[in-house]
């Protein structure tokens, strides 16, 4: 089943630990994946490790609250051996702030204290690479994460993670029903859009590929996504302009409709010309400086 729902969290870990996860989720993952060695680099109140040990699995739990920073320290070095399964359960952005709130003093390395979503996405990519490095070839690494809507902005942390990791290693996306949410339901009463009552369990299976090759493939994956986006932006604008236009009108339209894209690329006009020139299957010149959809 790609859907899990456990209203009861069991006796593992601490029920008072905010944002904890039902032990039954880990139990089911362990029953399916049968790891010999399990690592949780953000163990929180210890739920996952308690379940694993009860099932006779060698298990290691790390967390910032006990001095391990998954954004700086190698999981593999901290544990001393690779895992068959390495699952993290990070904060969802700043939905629940951990350091200085759930435990100890405020710590800038705390993933629930990232200054922006972009910073969190980037750090979580590093954490997932760290988890991958700590996993045996053929083993699984993954994460448990929800989405967050606040002040009208919907952030899908899981979508960012899938986009930033090797697509050839993605093994499963499981929907996990969320129970006992502490958010104030009254504020959702009049909303058009549904209150989020699910999380995701993302699993990747590590392939026997050297890390440099994996990083090269990942860079290629990101590059083709970026160039693909440019192709679609230019084609979409040409479609809006009736299928044919001169360059200055294309520039003007793009300036209006894709300001984010332009802010990150100061040579955007050259990028548009390059996109038009390099995609004969999509665009054709009809006169000097005038382009049409092919």
The stretch near ligand SAM (CB under 6 A) out of 27-35, 105-113, 177-185, 240-248 is 105-113
Please give the biggest Cα pair distance in the chain. 73
Q: What angle separates helix 47-54 from helix 23-33, to the nearest 10 degrees?
A: 50
The stretch near ligand SAM (CB under 6 A) out of 106-114, 132-140, 161-169, 197-205 is 106-114
Number of residues that bind ligand SAM (CB under 6 A): 26
On whether the CB atoms of residues 155 and 117 are closer than 8 A, the answer is: yes
Query: Which of the residues 31 through 70 are near ligand SAM (CB under 6 A)?
Result: 41-42, 44-45, 47-48, 63-65, 68-70
CB of 44 vs ligand SAM, minimal distance in Å:
3
The nearer residue to ligand SAM, 110 or 253, going by C-beta atoms, is 110
Q: How many CB atoms lie within 10 A of CB 6?
A: 16
Query: Rounded CA gap, 258 and 281, in Å?
Result: 23
Q: Tell me if residue 135 falls in helix, strand or coil.
A: strand
The nearer residue to ligand SAM, 21 or 128, going by C-beta atoms, is 21
Report which of 85, 62, 84, 58 is spatially closest to residue 74, judged by C-alpha positions: 62
The correct pick among 28, 84, 110, 199 for binding ligand SAM (CB under 6 A) is 110
Residue with tokens 């993952």: 29
Q: Which residues bind ligand SAM (CB under 6 A)?
A: 13, 17, 19-21, 41-42, 44-45, 47-48, 63-65, 68-71, 89-91, 98, 109-112
């Amino acid at each position: 089943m790609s859907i899990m729902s456990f209203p009861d969290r069991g006796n593992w870990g601490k029920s008072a630990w905010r944002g904890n996860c039902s032990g039954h989720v880990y139990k089911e993952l362990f029953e399916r994946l049968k790891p010999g060695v399990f690592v949780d680099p953000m163990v929180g109140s210890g739920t996952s490790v308690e379940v694993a040990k009860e099932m006779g699995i060698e298990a290691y739990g790390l967390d910032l609250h006990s001095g391990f920073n998954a954004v700086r320290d190698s999981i593999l070095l901290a544990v001393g051996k690779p895992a068959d399964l390495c699952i993290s359960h990070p904060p969802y952005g700043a939905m629940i702030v951990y350091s200085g709130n759930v435990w100890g003093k405020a710590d800038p390395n705390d993933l629930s204290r990232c200054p922006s979503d972009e910073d969190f996405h980037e750090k979580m990519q590093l954490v997932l690479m760290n988890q991958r490095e700590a996993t045996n070839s053929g083993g699984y690494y993954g994460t448990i994460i929800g989405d967050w809507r606040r002040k009208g902005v919907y952030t899908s942390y899981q979508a960012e993670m899938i986009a930033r990791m090797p697509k050839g290693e993605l093994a499963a996306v499981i929907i996990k029903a969320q129970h006992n949410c502490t958010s104030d339901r009254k504020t959702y009463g009049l909303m058009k859009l549904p209150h989020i009552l699910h999380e995701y369990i993302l699993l990747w299976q590590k392939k026997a590929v050297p890390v440099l090759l994996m990083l090269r493939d990942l860079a290629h994956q990101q590059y083709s996504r970026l160039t693909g986006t440019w192709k679609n932006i230019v084609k979409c604008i040409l479609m809006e302009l009736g299928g044919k236009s001169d360059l200055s009108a294309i520039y003007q339209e793009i300036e209006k409709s894709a300001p984010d894209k332009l802010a990150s690329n100061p040579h955007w006009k050259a990028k548009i010309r390059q996109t038009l020139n390099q995609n004969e299957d999509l665009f054709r010149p009809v006169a000097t400086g005038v382009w049409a959809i092919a």
